[in-house]
Amino acid sequence: MANEVLLEVKDLHTSFNVPSGEVRSVNGVSFTLRRGEVLGIVGESGSGKSVTAYSIMQILEKPGRVIGGSIKFDGQELLGLPVKQLQKIRGKKISIIFQDAMSSLNPVWSIGDQLMEAVRIHEDAEVKAKRKARIKELKAEIKVKKANNEDYSELAKELDDKVNFARKRALEMLRLVGITDPEKRLKQYPFEHSGGMLQRSMIAMALINEPDLIIADEPTTALDVTIQAQILELLLDLQKRLNVGIIIITHDLGVVAQICHRVNVMYAGRVVETGTVDDIFYNPQHEYTKGLINSIPKADKRVDKLEPIPGNPVDVFTLPSGCSFAPRCKNCMKVCLKKFPQFIKVSEDHYTACFKYLEKLADEGKISEDELQKYLDSCQEGNKAFTRISRLDVEKAYQDYLAKKNNFNNDVKNNALSKEGLEIAKYRVNESRQEYYRARRDFAYAIKDRKAGGSERLSIDKNDVHKKIKHHKVEIDANALDMSKEEFNAYLDNLVISTTPVNPDASTEAVNQAKAELKEAKLDYLSKLKAPRKEKVEARYKIDIAKEHVVQAERDLYWFNYINKKLEATKKALTAIYENAHKRAEKAKGQGKE
């Protein structure tokens, strides 16, 4: 295995903007892959393994998008690369093997046609031109030899190779992946192949252009055990013969043990532990990795029951604020609930992101107080994997959209006059156009979220109010006799019955003003019905913003009235409790004197 770095992923962030917010499926993933190395990415469903792979290939389905980081392949940055250049890399230098070959292959094309298409699409323009020119020459030479009655079998063979180059390559690949009778198989359609054969055909397609990197997304999950073993053996054999880098995405630790050199363990969109296969299997340091290893049956140990990881896989919408694994971790500590652990070096090439390992180092005196503090300071507070687009963000999203739109328009203007190369100018404009589109889409999502009545709209929890009122009643009931009238009045003056404060500026006037603004925006829109589309869209956005202001003003007024009414009623009830308690005490005192 060469030491040359083939793929370098740094701080990769991929998010999905769904109506209820932004989900960071991949949240700061970093790793490297060397040429000829096999890297396993393991983790439960939803841990971000496949999204990481699709981000590298840039084949994410909408609304997924890479929002940050860097992906360098063979020294070239892939993020931000124009689509045409990316297409030259995908399938040619980086290939992917999908989990379900049946649904990944085209059912109405024969296996041969699909393989040949992959060869033709990636044929270099220069090579293609040379090949065509040679075909022309060969045809002319054969014609002359035929006319002179000379032997032209050598030329005919070369001509056949040149004309049917894609077919020959397809046959060669089918043979390489161990498909028997490739001539016959080439003409068959996917439904005529067994699961194992289809997966082999997929591998043949992935390898047909001799890529430097193969990403195999659960390549053996849909196959039975014997075929699984054959496919893994085949991948390993190809890796050795062609020295390709392979990333295997799987949740099967057996597959990892069989063919990987290194392993990344992922949980909730992050790599939580990385190391060689031996590190991960014989010296796991993250609590999640330990759970994974303990859940595999051991040949040398007889157990009645396997030890599963407690709890359910993480739900990205309700991530805890510290370590994502905390709710399922039996060794969870206070710090795990608050801070997000960063990587700590265990040994060369072995890193873990777990506070338990840090504690172990501290107990063994292997880390100084200063280093410990420095590490803790480097861990951010809270988990930023999920951000809900709040109701108020509609306004923010709109302002962002306007700013990005201006940037884009300026870029178009400036670059039209730019002396820099046309390609660079195009690239820049394209970048700002992307940002502008993203901002426009975020704005649309924010409006959608508001329309769907996201929980932010009901920001005051009525149950919380009722609980607080009950708490005050119990408190006054218990302490009334110990409180002077002044103390009780001060208590009432500072009475709080909701965790979320209401807007003190809420009023009927504010609602009327917002409604007038909406009316004006609607009239403006009507006056622009025949204006250019851009102006009409702008006017439409203004109506959405004005509607948002009306909803906000009405909501604020509703909660303002609700809380004030409850506050008055609570003060009355508390006064009654206080006075009754004192009256009863007076009475009891009077009776005592008699």
| Chain contacts with ligand SF4 (rule: CB under 6 A) | 286-288, 323, 325-326, 329, 331-333, 336, 341, 354-356
In the complex with ligand SF4, the residue whose CB is nearer, 208 or 316, is: 316
Nearer to ligand SF4, 335 or 492 (CB): 335
Min dist. Cβ of residue 170 to ligand SF4 (A): 48
Q: In terms of CB distance, is 238 or 272 closer to ligand SF4?
A: 272
DSSP 207-238: HTT--SEEEEESTTTTS-HHHHHHHHHHHHHH
Q: Considering beta carbons, is residue 116 or 329 the nearer one to ligand SF4?
A: 329
Phi, psi of 471 (to 5 degrees): -60, -45
- Distance of closest approach, residue 367 Cβ to ligand SF4, in angstroms: 15
Sheet containing strand 386-387, edge to edge, reads 76-77, 64-73, 5-18, 21-34, 386-387
Q: Which is nearer to ligand SF4, 48 or 245 (CB)?
A: 48
Please state the length of the chain.
594
- Closest residue by Cα to residue 332 from 350, 347, 310: 310
Q: What is the rounded distance in angstroms from the CA atom of residue 89 to the CA atom of residue 54?
A: 14
Assess whether the previous peptide bond of 327 is cis (omega < 30° from 0): no
Shortest distance, CB of residue 270 to ligand SF4, whole angstroms? Answer: 11
Closer Cβ to ligand SF4, 286 or 391, answer by number? 286
Q: How far apart are CA 392 and CA 306, in angstroms?
A: 49
Q: Which CB, 359 or 395, lies closer to ligand SF4? A: 359
Closest CB 357 distance from ligand SF4, rounded Å: 7
Q: Residue 379 CB, nearest distance to ligand SF4 (Å)?
A: 10
Q: How far is the CB of 24 from ligand SF4 (least distance, A)?
A: 18
The CB-of-325 to ligand SF4 minimum distance in angstroms stands at 4
Shortest distance (Å) from residue 284 CB to ligand SF4: 11
Output the DSSP codes for 511-523: HHHHHHHHHHHHH
Can you give 299-362 as a three-state secondary structure string?
A: CCCCCCCCCCCCCCCCCHHHCCCCCCCHHHCCCCCHHHHHECCCCEEEECCEEECCHHHHHHHH
Q: How far is the CB of 249 from ligand SF4 (least distance, A)?
A: 22
The 3-state DSSP class for residue 578 equals helix
In three-state secondary structure terms, 494 is coil
Q: Which is nearer to ligand SF4, 49 or 356 (CB)?
A: 356
Least distance (Å) between residue 377 CB and ligand SF4: 16
Q: Could you give the 3-state DSSP secondary structure of residue 425? A: helix
Contact between residue 250 and residue 42 where contact means Cβ atoms under 8 Å apart: yes
CA–CA gap between residue 508 and residue 515 (Å, rounded): 11
Cα–Cα distance for residue pair 165/208, rounded to 1 Å = 12
Instruction: Choose between 71 and 332: whose C-beta lies nearer to ligand SF4.
Output: 332
Cα–Cα dist 514/505, whole Å: 13
Spacing of C-alpha 271 from chain mean position: 13
Cβ proximity to ligand SF4, 344 vs 557, nearer residue: 344
